[in-house]
Amino acid sequence: MGKRSGKKPLAFLLRKLRPTKRAHSPPQPISARPNPIDTSAEATTPGSGAAAAKGIKKKAGPRLWMRFDRTGQSEILECDKSVIIKRAAIPARDLRILGPVFSQSSNILAREKAIVVNLEYIRAIVTAEEILILDPLCQEVLPFIDQLRQHVPPKTTTRADDGENQGTDAPSQAERELPFEFQVLEIALEVVCCSLGSSVTDLERDAYPVLDELAKNVSTKNLERVRSLKSILTRLFARVQKVRDEIEHLLDDNEDMSHLYLTRKQIQNQQFEALMASVTSNSIVPAGTNIGRVNSNRYQRSASIATSMYSDNDVEDLEMLLEAYFMQLDGIRNRILSVREYIDDTEDYVNIQLDNQRNELIQLQLILTMASFAIALSMLICGAFSMNIQVSLYNTHNLFGPFVGGTLSGCFIIFLIILAYARWNKLLDP
């Protein structure tokens, strides 16, 4: 009974203490209670944040563009890819050509309503009404923008000039005027050719003195300067060749050149829409079979006139334009090749000089070998007489001088005989 009475107070105290501990700990709100699902989400949050950060880094932001229209008005824009794609009606892959990956390539691509131009540092999208220039604040692009401002705005003519131009000369002047996209293309090619020509001029100015100095003095410093010039020449030749190949590719394909006529395509589309509108308006008339045939024949005849308006000589203007700059680039390429030929000639001359010096060293080595052979004979005689063998010459007085002189003279005569034999067989220069 005593043991039972001792256990009951302990159990009673434990039961009393448990409710008090629960009472002291306030209930946690639902939002503060730990959730295993939340902890796993927190564990994956850094990874998702890093992925989001990578996505933000990979996503290209808006870039700086310059809009220049055919009236000479210009403005700086900060546009995204989607805005440029909608504005110029080009596929997204064409903007990759204007990106840094293809910055060293040269492309002139014709699209339905635009031309994508990537020539050296000039990266632009040309339409029939405007040009969008990428990175217009670069130092290399500023001459191109200056040329656009000087040549693209239309020239205003006076009334007297208008009166003088009336007659047969007015249509010829109108025919000679290039459309806006060709004016921009001509300015771009002119700026690129001028830049490449100035680079070739600088190369010629630096190359010829260095090569002449190398021909006079073959040293490590001069060889290093020529090596750097050759690397510059190789890069410059590749740049010229890329632009030249692109123009040659366009000249070889009349269909590609015809696609570059944006103004013509715009006019044809407008004419086609006007014809369609007239045909639809005429088709509202109550119908007979004859009226339908007349309208269809009229539509086919007008459409054929609109599509074949420039079928005969439709690429003549562009072909003449591209041929002019192709010849200019060909001349720049020939100048680079002439510098390369001069470098090759200088290297051949230097190699001939080195071969000549090498031959002289070999001849000197042969002469020294013959001299050492002659001296070895005298050393052989001296070694023979230095042995411990009794010879009657040891007892002869005043014989040392004549004996040594005779031995040296004999060795010298042997050396001359061997030298004459080497020259007789053309082993040495006479």
Determine the Cα–Cα distance for residues 243 and 198; give it in Å rounded to an integer: 16
Query: What pLDDT does residue 48 have?
Result: 44
Please report the sign of the dihedral spanned by the C-alpha atoms of residue 306, residue 307, residue 308, residue 310.
Answer: positive
Is CATH 2.40.128.330 what the domain over 60-144 is classified as, yes or no?
A: yes
pLDDT of residue 178: 83
Instruction: Record the tokens describing residue 412, joined without a space.
Output: 């010298």
Query: Which pLDDT band holds residue 430 (cuts at 50, 70, 90)?
Result: low
Q: What integer pLDDT is reported at residue 98 of this predicted model?
A: 83
CA distance 250 to 253: 5
Least confident residue range of 10-14, 253-257, 398-402? 10-14
Give residue 80's pLDDT band: very low, low, confident or very high (50, 70, 90). confident
Alpha-carbon distance of 243 to 193, in angstroms, equals: 9
pLDDT at site 144? 93
d(CA 314, CA 320): 12
Which of 30-39, 65-74, 348-357 shows the lowest per-residue confidence on average (mean pLDDT)? Answer: 30-39
Q: What pLDDT is attached to residue 7?
A: 45
Residues 208-221, mean pLDDT to the nearest whole number = 91
- Dump pLDDT digits (tens) for 148-166: 998 887 554 443 344 444 4
**Once rounded to an integer, what is the mean pLDDT over residues 293-314?**
48
- Is the pLDDT at 68 greater than 60? The verdict is yes
Please give the structure tokens belonging to residue 389: 């063998």
Q: Token digits for 317?
A: 């203007």
For the chain, the average pLDDT equals 76
The mean pLDDT value for 392-403 works out to 76
Neighbours of 125 (CB within 10 A): 27
Q: Whose structure tokens read 């000197």?
A: 364
Q: For residue 339, is pLDDT > 50?
A: yes
DSSP string, 25-61: SPPPPTTTS--HHHHHHHHHHHHHHHHHHHHHHHS--
* pLDDT per position as a tens digit, 124-147: 999 988 999 998 999 989 999 999
pLDDT, position 26: 45
Sign of CA dihedral 145, 146, 151, 157: positive
Nearest CA to 152 out of 104, 124, 188, 120 is that of: 188
pLDDT in tens, 179-208: 899 999 999 999 999 999 999 999 999 999
Domain boundaries, given as residue ranges, for the chain: 60-144, 359-424
What's the DSSP call for residue 309?
T
pLDDT attached to residue 59:
53
- Tell me what the mean pLDDT of segment 299-307 comes to: 46
What pLDDT does residue 283 have? 57
Q: Identify the pLDDT of residue 79.
A: 86
In the chain, the percentage of residues whose pLDDT exceeds 70 is 71
Output the pLDDT for position 272: 76
Q: What's CA 348's distance to the chain center, in Å? A: 30
Give Cα separations from 31 to 28, 38, 243 (angstroms): 8, 11, 67
With 0-12 / 13-18 / 19 or more C-beta atoms within 10 angstroms meaning exposed / middle / buried, residue 141 is buried
pLDDT value at position 287?
46
| AA identity, residue 410 | G
Q: Find the mean pLDDT for residues 241-262.
A: 91
Full-model pTM: 0.67
Q: Flag the least confident range among 73-87, 365-379, 388-402.
A: 388-402
pLDDT value for 103: 67
**Any residues with CB less than 8 A from the CB of 190 and at least 6 apart, and which?**
147, 325
User: What's the pLDDT score for residue 274?
Assistant: 79
Residue 236 has pLDDT above 90, yes or no: yes
- Of 76-85, 275-284, 355-364, the one with minimum mean pLDDT is 275-284
pLDDT > 70? residue 304 = no
Whether 345 has a pLDDT exceeding 90, the answer reads: yes
CA distances, 204 to each of 4, 21, 201, 241 (Å): 117, 95, 5, 18
pLDDT exceeds cutoff 60 at 308:
no
